[in-house]
């Protein structure tokens, strides 16, 4: 249920602007990898290129190769919707479908895959909501609108929606930046549980969070505004936060820069 | 207005008193006590309000504006009431003079010495032609709106959107003349073809003549309501939060599935509102239908034979030669049209209200 993600020489553009250049990194299955770095350094762009969401924006494109278990997701014959089903994504702001109930939100991905049978959908919804630690809070009001939940609950609902389709990899783009500390803690706990089944890659601005939840950390940075983002250092989280090999990483994590 | 000048004076004295009682020993002189006040906010009228809070104003722009908006709101009610009273007062004598049943009689001759007129056929024709027009226009309009908002390159979308809006600016009499003189002949050919192949369906039966039919009227109406529905739906579709569209795409939706999962449900209340505006225009449309319909006074589901009539078209056709009773009869028919529009609007509101829990939390 989890796959290895490998990027080699990934370069991404927004129109004429080169946002990231020559990113090389491999993420092992069933681990949590944190992408950190100052604003505008391309960590979100890199994350979005892993499930081909980057190209949704007009003029955006990706060069280089990205593989999951040796299959190139940018291969011409690969169905982009299949890529996104295999590599799920949780966004910065909770974005449940406002017109759908909690239940409908969780099973939205399954319905897109053609699952119609009520009993299957119900089982899958319960399983996903339990995995997202939300079942106890919502089991009596599955028919209520998903947008009526609190921010932290909405984000867990979005995580449930993402894992309901049983992806191999889960990408999280600053999933806690719009949440209070208690909801943040709930989601960090959840990441610990989820990494038994999924490969997780998370972008975060919160370095304590990166240190708490991740096994490996990748530090991205830019020389100056307008330059493409580059991968500066990628290592075990413990090493990055205690004894980084690059001076720039040390400056960043100690707060001297960025 | 008398309250305003006191503001600065109140603030000044209040400030002094507060300073005296809290920060200075009882023995300190008043002169010393005043010093910090004047350095902090000269005159005691700083924007932050040093000292006691001034009283609220009794009169001022706030109240004047409130009064103006209230008056504007009331004016709507007064105008509607005045129109209703006028219409009822004119209609009642004519309805009394009617020698046939107003609801069921199929014909319109209120100018005779024994006036006979009935609304049934007209109301039926109004609803039939409008419903048909909506049935044709809505799928096309939604298709155009989705294309403009989510498929077309931005420049092309803007240009096409402008053209659609331009279509809305064409006067209805132009549509009417075009429908009668140009569009009627292809519709007649198509009607003959329909009659030949599908004549066994009552909708397309009859022996002719064909052309100036409900179908022609409905098609012209459909073209007229198309731009309203298109541009409103396009605006609604463009307002779908990008976050929701991305959520659908990230779940592995194709573009059409994304539209179905995120865009269409989000835009539902807006689509209904657009349809109702379109229906409102179709129900009230006068001259285009007066020019294109065959003007008969019977209730028939036949779409392709010459015939059809609507309340508004009948008012346009008959008002010129109407006498006192005739005008009263037409006004009575106008009241019925008003009632139909009201029912349509209430139904639409009810549909939107039923899902309010979901649409309100969306905002």
**pTM, rounded to two decimals:** 0.79
CB pairs A-B closer than 8 Å: 84
Supply the pLDDT for residue B34: 45
Question: How confident is residue A123, by pLDDT bands cut at 50, 70 and 90?
Answer: very high
How close are the terminal C-alpha atoms of chain B, in Å?
Answer: 41
Length, in residues, of chain B: 363
Q: If DSSP codes are grouped into helix, strand and coil, which group holds residue A216?
A: strand
* Contacts B257 to A, Cβ<8 Å: 112
Q: Which residue on chain A is closest to B357 by alpha carbon?
A: A145
* Contacts B252 to A, Cβ<8 Å: 81-85, 109, 112-113, 165
Q: Does the pLDDT at position B100 exceed 60? A: yes
B250 touches chain A (CB under 8 A): yes
Residue of B157, B242, B247 to mutate for A, most A C-beta atoms under 10 A:
B247
Per domain, the residue ranges of chain B are 1-59, 108-360
B333-to-A206, B126, B168, B344 alpha-carbon distances in Å: 70, 11, 27, 17
A162 touches chain B (CB under 8 A): yes
Structural domains in chain A, sorted by start: 5-91+167-253 (3.40.50.300)
B23 touches chain A (CB under 8 A): no
Contact yes or no for B251 and A93 at CB 8 A: no
The ipTM assigned to this model is 0.91
Q: Averaged over B181-195, what is the pLDDT?
A: 91
Question: How confident is residue B123, by pLDDT bands cut at 50, 70 and 90?
Answer: very high
A84, A99, A113 ranked by CB distance to B250: nearest:
A84
Contact yes or no for A109 and B243 at CB 8 A: no
* A37 dihedral zone (left: phi>0; alpha: psi -120 to 50; beta): left
Contact yes or no for B252 and A113 at CB 8 A: yes
What digits encode the pLDDT tens for the residues B280-293? 889 989 999 999 99
* B233 dihedral zone (left: phi>0; alpha: psi -120 to 50; beta): alpha
What digits encode the pLDDT tens for the residues A148-185? 999 999 999 999 999 999 999 999 999 998 888 888 88
Handedness of CA B119, B120, B121, B124 (dihedral sign): positive
Supply the pLDDT for residue A109: 92
Name the superfamily (CATH) of residues B108-360: MetI-like (1.10.3720.10)
Q: Does the pLDDT at position A2 exceed 90? A: no
A204 touches chain B (CB under 8 A): no
Supply the pLDDT for residue B15: 39
Burial A221-232 (b: 16+ CB within 10 A, else e): bbeeeeebbbbb
For chain B, the average pLDDT equals 83
Contact yes or no for B250 and A93 at CB 8 A: no
What digits encode the pLDDT tens for the residues B218-228? 999 999 999 99
**Out of A133-147, A149-163, B339-353, least confident range:** B339-353
Residue A258, judged by CB atoms within 10 A of its CB (0-12, 13-18, 19+), counts as middle
A58, A145, A165 ranked by CB distance to B251: nearest:
A165
């Amino acid at each position: 249920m989890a796959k290895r993600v490998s990027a080699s020489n990934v370069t991404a553009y927004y129109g004429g602007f080169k946002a990231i250049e020559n990113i090389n990194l491999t993420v092992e299955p069933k681990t949590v990898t944190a992408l950190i770095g100052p604003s505008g350094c391309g960590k979100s762009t890199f994350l979005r290129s892993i499930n081909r969401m980057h190209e949704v924006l007009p003029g955006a494109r990706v060069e280089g190769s990205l593989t999951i278990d040796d299959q190139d997701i940018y291969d011409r014959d690969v169905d982009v919707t299949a890529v996104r089903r295999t590599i799920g994504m949780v966004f910065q702001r909770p974005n449940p479908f406002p017109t759908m109930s909690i239940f409908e939100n969780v099973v939205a991905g399954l319905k897109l895959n053609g699952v119609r049978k009520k009993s299957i959908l119900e089982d899958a919804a319960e399983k996903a909501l339990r995995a997202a630690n939300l079942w106890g809070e919502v089991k009596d009001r599955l028919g209520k609108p998903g947008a009526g939940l609190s921010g932290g609950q909405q984000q867990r609902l979005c995580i449930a929606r993402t894992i309901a389709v049983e992806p191999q990899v889960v990408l999280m783009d600053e999933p806690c930046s719009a949440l209070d500390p208690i909801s943040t803690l709930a989601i960090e706990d959840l990441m610990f549980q989820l990494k038994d089944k999924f490969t997780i890659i998370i972008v975060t601005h919160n370095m304590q969070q990166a240190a708490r939840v991740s096994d490996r950390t990748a530090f991205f940075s830019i020389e100056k505004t307008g330059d493409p983002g580059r991968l500066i250092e990628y290592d075990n989280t413990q090493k990055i936060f205690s004894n980084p090999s690059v001076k720039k990483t040390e400056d960043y994590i100690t707060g001297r820069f960025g | 207005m008398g309250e305003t000048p006191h503001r600065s004076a109140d603030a000044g004295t209040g400030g002094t008193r507060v300073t005296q009682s809290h920060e200075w020993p009882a023995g300190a002189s008043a002169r010393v006590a005043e010093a910090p006040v004047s350095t902090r906010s000269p005159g005691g009228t700083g924007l932050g309000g040093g000292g006691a809070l001034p009283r609220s104003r009794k009169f001022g722009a706030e109240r004047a504006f409130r009064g103006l908006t209230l008056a504007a709101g009331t004016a709507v009610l007064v105008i509607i009431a005045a129109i209703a009273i006028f219409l009822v007062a004119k209609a009642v004598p004519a309805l009394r003079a009617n020698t046939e049943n107003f609801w069921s009689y199929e014909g319109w001759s209120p100018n005779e010495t024994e006036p006979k007129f009935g609304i049934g056929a007209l109301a039926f024709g109004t609803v039939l032609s409008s419903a048909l027009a909506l049935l044709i226009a809505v799928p096309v309009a939604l298709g155009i709106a989705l294309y403009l908002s989510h498929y077309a390159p931005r420049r092309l979308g803007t240009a096409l959107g402008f053209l659609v809006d331009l279509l809305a600016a064409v006067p209805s009499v132009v549509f009417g003349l075009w429908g009668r003189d140009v569009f009627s002949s292809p519709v007649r050919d198509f009607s003959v073809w329909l009659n030949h192949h599908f004549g066994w369906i009552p909708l397309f039966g009859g022996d002719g003549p064909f052309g100036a039919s409900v179908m022609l009227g409905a098609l012209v109406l459909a073209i007229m309501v198309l731009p309203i529905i298109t541009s409103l739906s396009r605006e609604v579709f463009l307002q779908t939060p990008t976050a929701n569209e991305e959520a659908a795409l990230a779940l592995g939706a194709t573009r059409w599935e994304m539209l179905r999962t995120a865009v269409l449900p989000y835009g539902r209340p807006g689509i209904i509102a657009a349809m109702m505006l379109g229906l409102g225009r179709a129900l009230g449309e006068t001259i285009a239908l007066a020019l294109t319909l065959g003007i008969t006074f019977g209730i028939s589901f036949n779409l392709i034979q010459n015939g059809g009539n609507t309340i508004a078209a009948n008012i346009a056709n008959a008002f010129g030669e109407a006498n006192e009773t005739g005008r009263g009869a037409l006004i009575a028919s106008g009241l019925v049209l008003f009632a139909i529009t009201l029912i349509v609007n209430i139904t639409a509101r009810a549909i939107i209200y039923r899902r309010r829990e979901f649409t309100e939390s969306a905002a």
